[in-house]
């Protein structure tokens, strides 16, 4: 599975990056490719490329605030969850996505 | 679609608040610099210049909040009318509540115009430059000035009156609740709700809750550091003791998030300890009547407090309470990495939509 996503929390200094790490870590465990862009207080970091988006099977928006650039995901399956879900249940989240996509 | 706006009510508020926070930080630091240099009455002195910057921050923070809320709902066209409506809201003392209402109103109105106005090539370039901002701006102005402004100003004044007439014990209780909210999720959404309440008080010239919030926000990382480095270092992993050193610096700069790594490793023990410590710090500040005219600033705000010694005492007591509680609760040996990161069940079903 190829997963991409954006994380962004209210303050944009801590949870944003923890959510990114959790998702990527879990992706490694499952053998998936997971690429996450962060939109914290410092602006956009680890930006997704057009190629990343092209190849993605699903987009995760783990955000508590409004994020920019969602128009890039036109036509892609998009999952919206609060940041806390990506931090607390990354594995359940990814597996659930796989299940739903395979339906 | 309009129902969606209210479904995501919290997200829109949080976006506005996250845009507003840097303004408050700039304001706090500029006020602190002004105070350090002194001589704020003399036009052209360093103190005067930075005081102006601080004042600019306090008159603009609601403008940024309101613009941010509107932006979150309807995108770019909401920013300009939102900034104006938020500024007006500050001017008529409707402050935080007024700015929030105006932000939602502008967002909804622009969304509505985007959907229901006729699509014509001739008008298309007119819409974003003239029509959306001007109509939304006029509407928001009328609503802020005539409809929501006066009652919200009265409500704010009433709440401030109630607060001012509270006795010592009920002040402690109020402060304890606000402090608990500040500590509970260490910079998360509950913390930000309390932040809004404190901002509303400060906008009305009541600065006790601001002093309390600063202490309550700074106590958790220091408390964790005291526990991990001084009281019971053996109960922590080496990584945590490293985190503790960083947490001290974060505490001094008023970044509550410094306590987060500890909370993630051991939420059941750390969160109650931090919540109670923050609650006590805030409660003491309100009981002692300490005030500070800035909403952020860490130790740099100390010169601005009405009573620096009492403020520092409340900060340290809050941190000590957290440190003692967590040191007592912690098991003798730290958990190893294997059983720390357990993946929790999803509470709600996820929905996949095609973007």
The answer to whether residue B346 is domain-embedded is no
Residues B62 and B190 in one domain: no
The answer to whether residue B100 is domain-embedded is yes
B68, B110, B188: best to mutate for the A interface, most A CBs within 10 A: B188
Residues B138 and B9 in one domain: yes
Residues B229 and B305 in one domain: yes
Residues B129 and B171 in one domain: no
Q: Phi then psi for B246, rounded to 5 degrees?
A: -65, -40
Domain count, chain B: 2
The Cα–Cα gap between B29 and B18 comes to: 18
- Arithmetic mean of pLDDT, A49-69: 92
The Cα–Cα gap between B342 and A89 comes to: 8
The answer to whether residue B350 is domain-embedded is no
Fold of A2-102: Rossmann fold (3.40.50)
Owning domain of residue B73 = 2-161
Q: How far does the CA of residue B49 sit from the closest CA of chain A (Å)? A: 27
* DSSP state letter for B178: H
Residues B147 and B39 in one domain: yes
The answer to whether residue B355 is domain-embedded is no
Residues B185 and B123 in one domain: no
The Cα–Cα gap between A16 and A37 comes to: 10
Is there a contact between B343 and A91 if contact means CB atoms under 8 Å apart?
yes
Q: How far does the CA of residue B135 sit from the closest CA of chain A (Å)? A: 24
pLDDT of amino acid B116 = 86
The Cα–Cα gap between B207 and B298 comes to: 15
- Report the SS3 class of residue B25: helix
pLDDT of amino acid B336 = 54
pLDDT of amino acid B335 = 63
The Cα–Cα gap between B101 and B80 comes to: 16
pLDDT of amino acid B325 = 95
pLDDT (tens digit per residue) in A71-86: 899 999 999 999 989 9
Among B21, B257, B352, select the one facing A14 at the smallest CB separation.
B257
pLDDT of amino acid A28 = 94
The answer to whether residue B313 is domain-embedded is yes
Whether A79 contacts A70, CB under 8 Å: no
pLDDT tens, chain B, 355 aa long: 777 788 788 788 888 888 887 887 788 778 778 877 877 778 888 889 998 998 898 889 889 999 999 999 998 889 999 999 999 988 887 777 788 889 999 999 999 988 888 877 777 778 888 888 899 999 999 988 998 888 877 877 777 777 777 777 788 999 999 999 999 988 776 787 788 788 878 877 888 999 999 999 999 999 999 999 999 998 998 878 888 988 898 898 888 888 888 887 888 899 999 999 999 999 999 999 999 988 877 888 888 889 999 999 999 999 999 999 999 999 887 765 444 457 778 877 788 888 7
Across-strand partners of A60? A5, A79
The two three-digit tokens of residue B183, written as one number: 């500590």
Among B21, B343, B355, select the one facing A92 at the smallest CB separation.
B343
Residues B13 and B103 in one domain: yes
Residue of chain B whose Cα is closest to the Cα of A66: B72
The radius of gyration computed from the CA coordinates of chain A, to the nearest angstrom, equals 12
Residue of chain B whose Cα is closest to the Cα of A8: B15
Residues B87 and B15 in one domain: yes
The Cα–Cα gap between B50 and B304 comes to: 14
- Of B161, B187, B222, which marks where a domain is finished? B161
pLDDT of amino acid B162 = 77
Residues B8 and B146 in one domain: yes
The Cα–Cα gap between B156 and A18 comes to: 38
A88, A97, A98: best to mutate for the B interface, most B CBs within 10 A: A88
The Cα–Cα gap between B283 and B209 comes to: 9
How far, in Å, are A77, B16, B338 from residue A23 at the CA level? 17, 26, 18
Residues B194 and B49 in one domain: no
Q: Which residues of A touch B261 (CB under 8 A)?
A: none
pLDDT of amino acid B339 = 45
- Of B161, B194, B213, which marks where a domain is finished? B161
The two three-digit tokens of residue B58, written as one number: 């306090």
- Of B126, B161, B196, which marks where a domain is finished? B161
The Cα–Cα gap between B153 and B90 comes to: 10
- Supply the angle between the helices B308-329 and B208-226 in degrees, to the nearest 10: 40
Is there a contact between A15 and B188 if contact means CB atoms under 8 Å apart?
yes
pLDDT (tens digit per residue) in A7-47: 998 777 788 898 999 999 999 999 999 999 999 888 899 99
The answer to whether residue B354 is domain-embedded is no
The answer to whether residue B153 is domain-embedded is yes
The Cα–Cα gap between A100 and A78 comes to: 12
Domain extents in chain A:
2-102
Q: Which residues of A touch B18 (CB under 8 A)?
A: 10-12, 41, 65
């Amino acid at each position: 599975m190829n997963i991409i996503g954006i994380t962004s929390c209210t303050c944009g200094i801590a949870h944003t990056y923890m959510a990114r790490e959790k998702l990527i870590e879990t992706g490694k465990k499952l053998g998936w490719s997971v690429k996450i862009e962060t939109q914290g207080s410092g602006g956009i970091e680890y930006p997704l490329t057009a190629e990343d988006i092209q190849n993605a099977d699903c987009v995760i928006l783990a955000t508590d605030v409004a994020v920019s650039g969602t128009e890039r995901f036109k036509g892609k399956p998009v999952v919206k969850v609060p940041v806390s879900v990506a931090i607390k249940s990354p594995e359940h989240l990814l597996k659930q996505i796989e299940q739903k996509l395979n339906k | 679609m309009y129902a969606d706006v209210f479904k995501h009510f919290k997200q829109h508020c949080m976006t506005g608040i996250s845009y507003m926070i840097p303004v408050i930080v700039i304001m706090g630091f500029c006020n602190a610099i002004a105070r350090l240099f002194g001589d704020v009455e003399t036009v052209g002195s360093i103190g005067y210049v930075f005081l102006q910057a601080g004042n600019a921050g306090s008159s603009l923070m609601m403008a940024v909040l309101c613009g941010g809320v509107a932006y979150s709902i309807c995108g770019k066209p909401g920013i300009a009318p939102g900034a104006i409506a938020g500024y007006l809201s500050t001017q008529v003392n409707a402050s935080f509540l007024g700015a929030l209402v105006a932000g939602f109103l502008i967002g909804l109105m622009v969304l509505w115009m985007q959907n229901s106005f006729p699509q014509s090539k001739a008008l298309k370039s007119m819409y974003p430059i003239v029509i959306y901002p001007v109509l939304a701006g006029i509407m928001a102005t009328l609503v802020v000035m005539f409809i929501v402004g006066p009652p919200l100003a009265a409500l704010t004044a009433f709440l401030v009156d109630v607060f001012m007439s509270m006795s010592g014990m009920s002040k402690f209780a109020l402060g304890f609740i606000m402090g608990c909210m500040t500590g509970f999720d260490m910079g998360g959404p509950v913390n930000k709700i309390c932040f809004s309440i404190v901002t509303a008080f400060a906008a009305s010239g009541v600065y006790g809750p601001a002093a309390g919030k600063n202490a309550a926000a700074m106590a958790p990382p220091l408390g964790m550091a005291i526990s991990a480095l001084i009281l019971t270092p053996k109960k922590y992993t080496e990584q945590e003791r490293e985190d503790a050193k960083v947490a001290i610096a974060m505490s001094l700069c008023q970044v509550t998030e410094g306590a987060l790594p500890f909370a993630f490793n051991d939420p059941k023990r750390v969160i109650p300890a931090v919540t109670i410590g923050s609650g006590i710090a805030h409660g003491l500040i309100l009981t002692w009547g300490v005030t500070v005219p800035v909403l952020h600033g860490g130790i740099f705000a100390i010169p601005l407090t009405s009573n620096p010694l009492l403020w520092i005492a409340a900060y340290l007591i809050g941190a000590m309470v957290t440190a003692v509680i967590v040191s007592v609760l912690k098991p003798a040996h730290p958990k190893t990495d294997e059983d720390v990161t357990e993946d929790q069940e999803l509470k709600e079903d996820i929905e996949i939509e095609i973007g």
